[in-house]
Amino acid sequence: MQAIWRWLERGLEAIISLCLIVMTGLTVVDVAGRYFLNAPLRGGYEISEMLMGLTVFAALPLATRAEGHLTVGLLTERLSGQARRIHRIVILLITVGALAFIAWRMGVQADILARSKAASGSLQLPLWPVARAMSVLAWLACAVSVMLTLRALMGLDREAHAAKGSLE
């Protein structure tokens, strides 16, 4: 289990890194091409849009694993013992539901985009594969939250707090 997660983690980190580097590179090449060579990068912005989508969804499983989704929870910060454990399970269950919802709807969105043959405006790239990839990544995040919930129900990770991420 640990080994699988390690590999997944590495894969997701690679996706994120690659997307962000290419987004930066595209902007630099577009600007330089337009300014110095009179040759802007046709449709570079469309690729940037898709890469941002992949970045966000590749980050979901990692943020979920770290129980790092942004929370406020002023009333529940000081819970301890059994109360804290139950609170964490409830929050995890809500997380499972929300991630499953996001994954499901992205999948439906991919179907809709495929059916309507939606393509990007200037490169005419089909849009559905990216939506499909986002759906798969969201399902992965959902699976991660299911694992965390199961472990919590089995009485493991007693010391853990419920999600308490900040945007740092």
- How far is the C-alpha of 22 from the C-alpha of 73, rounded, in Å? 37
Among 5, 6, 11, 21, binds other proteins (CB under 8 A): 21
Under rule CB under 8 A, residue 56 binds other proteins? yes
Among 6, 11, 13, 153, binds other proteins (CB under 8 A): 13
Among 8, 20, 100, 147, binds other proteins (CB under 8 A): 20
Q: What angle do CA 85, 90, 96 make, to 5 degrees?
A: 125
Task: With beta carbons less than 8 A apart as the criterion, state whether 95 and 163 touch.
Answer: yes
Q: Nearer Cβ to other proteins, position 66 or 150?
A: 66
> Residue 145 is which amino acid?
S
H-type alpha helices, the chain: 2-36, 44-65, 81-115, 128-153
Under rule CB under 8 A, residue 86 binds other proteins? no
Among 5, 11, 17, 153, binds other proteins (CB under 8 A): 17
User: Please, what is the minimum distance in Å from the beta carbon of residue 50 to other proteins?
Assistant: 6
Token pair recorded at residue 74? 């002023």
Site for other proteins in 91-150 (CB under 8 A): 91, 94-95, 98, 101-102, 105-106, 108-109, 112, 116-122, 130-131, 134
- How far is the C-alpha of 137 from the C-alpha of 72, rounded, in Å? 26
